[in-house]
């Protein structure tokens, strides 16, 4: 009997298992590290901050898909996010009608719910933002995530560490009050062979725990460069143009964010349709007054 040709050897049951096992092992190992690696976690986080330094904020149009204890909700949203903790989110129905508007100037929160005819005010914190986003994240954390950056815990004790694992940098941070953080970073392809001090990175995933209990996890995918928003011009020529809120910027931004809060079974996907850096910020855009005819409530939650 003629022996199998070289290209067919090892394709029997055992050979297939061997090939599959090799493929799984190769995938698990990931690509090798860059020739020049970050020496520690502080260096890695410093390069992350440098990558997004030109972005002071973002504007975006996105689609929301939320699954949680109360079921599934979908909608369209326009948002403005400006460092360190200013937000505006306008939720629209699939037919273009405004359903609700959230504003936070970093101190005060307001939510106009047009469906319920309610206007809620209170401190700008995670508890109140969850009334809109359904996931309890502070405004500063949400702004950083929208900008493509990982919010970093205040360090406590040991310095952050960095290691190359499965084809990416993994930075571990020990925070205060038993909190810990895991940040996954990937060098941009065009920077892979550069010295570590010149590498730009994209954030792939952020996980935060406290006393071993997961608080939230965020995956960021579909990264692509974004441009600076143009000046806002009054079509009637009455008001002066509002310039961009920051310098020219082409830093990458994720086009998909997946936010999970495991303990509360909240799962939110934000799929961006359009996004730009440093949008013009008209006066008062991060505050709002109670619309006529709406019931007013104060939410004093302190989370």
User: Which residue blocks in 64-212 are alpha helix, DSSP H?
Assistant: 126-133, 139-146
pLDDT exceeds 80 at position 17: no
Closest by CA to 174, choosing from 159, 186, 189, 195, is 159
- Whether 56 is in a domain gets the answer yes
Report the range of poorest mean pLDDT among 14-18, 49-53, 151-155: 14-18
pLDDT exceeds 90 at position 7: no
- Whether 303 is in a domain gets the answer no
CA 65 to chain CA mean position, Å: 15
- Sequence-separated (6 or more) residues with CB below 8 Å from residue 208: 153, 179, 180, 181, 182, 214, 215, 216, 217
6 backbone dihedrals φ, ψ, rounded to 5°: -55, -40
pLDDT-based confidence at residue 29 (cuts at 50, 70, 90) = low
Q: How far apart are CA 44 and CA 152, in angstroms?
A: 12
- Whether 8 is in a domain gets the answer no
pLDDT digits (tens, 9 = 90+) for 70-119: 899 889 999 999 999 999 999 998 788 889 999 999 999 999 998 889 99
- Whether 34 is in a domain gets the answer no
Question: How many domains is the chain partitioned into structurally?
Answer: 1
- Whether 20 is in a domain gets the answer no
**Contact call for residues 270 and 231 (beta carbons, < 8 A):** no
- The share of the chain scoring above pLDDT 90, in percent, equals 72
pLDDT digits (tens, 9 = 90+) for 272-296: 999 999 999 999 999 999 988 899 9
68, 101, 157, 165, 275 from 151: Cα distances, Å: 24, 24, 18, 21, 20
The per-residue pLDDT of the chain, averaged, comes to 88
- Whether 63 is in a domain gets the answer yes
Q: How far apart are CA 149 and CA 202, in angstroms?
A: 8
pLDDT given at position 303: 66
Q: How far apart are CA 25 and CA 14, in angstroms?
A: 16
CA atoms within 13 A on the CB side of 222: 11
- Whether 27 is in a domain gets the answer no
**Contact call for residues 226 and 273 (beta carbons, < 8 A):** no
CATH number reported for the structural domain that contains residue 257 in this entry:
2.50.20.10
**Contact call for residues 158 and 183 (beta carbons, < 8 A):** no
Q: How far apart are CA 20 and CA 48, in angstroms?
A: 36
Q: Is the Cα torsion angle 21, 27, 31, 32 positive or negative in sign? A: negative
- Whether 72 is in a domain gets the answer yes
Domain that holds residue 282: 41-298
């Amino acid at each position: 009997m003629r022996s199998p040709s070289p290209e067919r050897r090892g394709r029997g049951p055992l050979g297939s298992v061997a090939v599959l096992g090799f493929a799984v092992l190769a995938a698990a190992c990931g690509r090798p590290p860059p020739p020049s690696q970050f020496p520690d976690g502080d260096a890695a986080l410093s390069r992350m901050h440098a990558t997004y330094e030109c972005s002071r904020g973002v504007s975006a149009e996105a689609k929301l898909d939320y699954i949680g204890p109360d079921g599934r909700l979908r909608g369209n949203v326009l948002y403005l996010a400006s460092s360190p903790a200013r937000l505006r989110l306008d939720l629209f129905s699939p037919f273009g009608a405004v359903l609700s508007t959230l504003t936070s100037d970093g101190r005060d929160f307001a939510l106009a719910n047009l469906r319920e005819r309610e206007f809620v005010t209170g401190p700008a914190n995670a508890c109140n933002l969850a009334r809109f986003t359904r996931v309890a994240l502070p405004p500063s954390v949400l702004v950083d995530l929208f900008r493509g950056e990982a919010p970093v815990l205040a360090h406590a004790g040991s310095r952050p560490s960095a290691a190359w694992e499965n084809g990416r940098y993994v930075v571990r941070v020990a925070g205060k009050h038993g909190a810990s953080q895991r940040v996954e970073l990937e060098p941009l392809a065009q920077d892979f062979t550069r010295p570590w001090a010149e590498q730009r990175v994209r954030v792939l995933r952020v996980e935060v725990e406290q006393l071993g209990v997961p608080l939230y996890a965020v995956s960021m995918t579909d990264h692509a460069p974004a441009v600076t928003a143009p000046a806002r011009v009054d079509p009637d020529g009455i008001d002066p143009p509002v310039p961009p809120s920051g310098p020219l910027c082409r830093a990458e931004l994720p086009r998909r964010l997946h936010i999970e809060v495991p303990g509360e079974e909240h799962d939110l996907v934000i799929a961006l349709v359009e996004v730009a850096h440093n949008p013009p910020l008209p006066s008062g855009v991060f505050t709002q007054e109670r619309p006529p005819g709406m019931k007013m409530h104060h939410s004093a939650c302190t989370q």
